[in-house]
Amino acid sequence: MTKQHKAMNSKSEDHLELIKMQTEFALIESMLRSKTLSTMVLVGVVLFAAFGYFLYRMAGA
């Protein structure tokens, strides 16, 4: 393995970079910058929870 290849591997394994590559981290980072995205995500979570509650109630009936 060459010196350059080893250097590239050690850079890519940096823990902070691995955290930044997570989808959730990118979503939260984008939500902090955009009120519209934050609102859309909040509405989506509420609708998803309401649908889950609806299915739960229908299954119990």
Q: Quick one: pLDDT at residue 55? A: 96
pTM score above 0.85: no
As given in the structure block, the two tokens for residue 14 are: 């940096």
Q: What are the pLDDT tens digits along the chain (61 aa)?
A: 566 655 555 555 688 787 778 888 889 999 999 999 999 999 999 999 999 999 999 998 6
pLDDT of residue 48: 98
Output the pLDDT for position 61: 63
Do 27 and 41 contact (CB within 8 A), yes or no?
yes
Per-residue confidence (pLDDT) for residue 18, from 0 to 100: 79
**Cα–Cα dist 18/41, whole Å:** 24
- Rounded (10°) CA dihedral 11, 15, 21, 25: -150
How far lies 53's CA from each of 29, 35, 40, in Å? 29, 27, 20
Domain count, the chain: 1
